[in-house]
Amino acid sequence: MGKQEKIVSMFNDIAGTYDIANRVLSLGIDKSWRNKACNKTFELYDKNEIERIVDVACGTGDMIEFWQKIAKKNGINLKNIIGVDPSVGMMEVAKKKLPEVEFIEAGAAQMPLDNACADIVSISYGIRNVVQRQEAFDEFARVLKKGGLVVISEFTKNEKTSLLDYLTDFYLNKVLPTLGGLISKNKEAYTYLPNSIDEFLTTTNLCKELKQAGLEPIFTKEFSMKISTLIIARKI
Phi/psi for 42 (5° steps) reads -65, -35
- Looking at residue 186, what is its pLDDT? 72
- What CATH number was assigned to the domain covering residues 3-235? 3.40.50.150
- The domain limits of the chain are 3-235
- Strands 53-56 and 118-124, bridge-based pairing: parallel
Instruction: Give the whole-angstrom CA distance, residue 105 versus residue 88.
Output: 7
The string of pLDDT tens digits covering residues 141-179 is 999 999 999 999 987 666 666 777 767 666 766 776 677
Query: Quick one: how far is CA 168 from the chain centroid?
Result: 20
Is the Cα dihedral 228, 101, 216, 148 positive or negative? negative
- Binding residues for S-adenosyl-L-methionine are 60, 85, 124
Stretch (H or E) spanning 20: helix 18-25
Which stretches of the chain score pLDDT less than 50? none
Greatest Cα pair distance, the chain, in angstroms, is 48
- Looking at residue 181, what is its pLDDT? 65
- Binding residues are 60, 85, 124
The string of pLDDT tens digits covering residues 184-195 is 677 676 665 555
pTM attached to this predicted model: 0.82
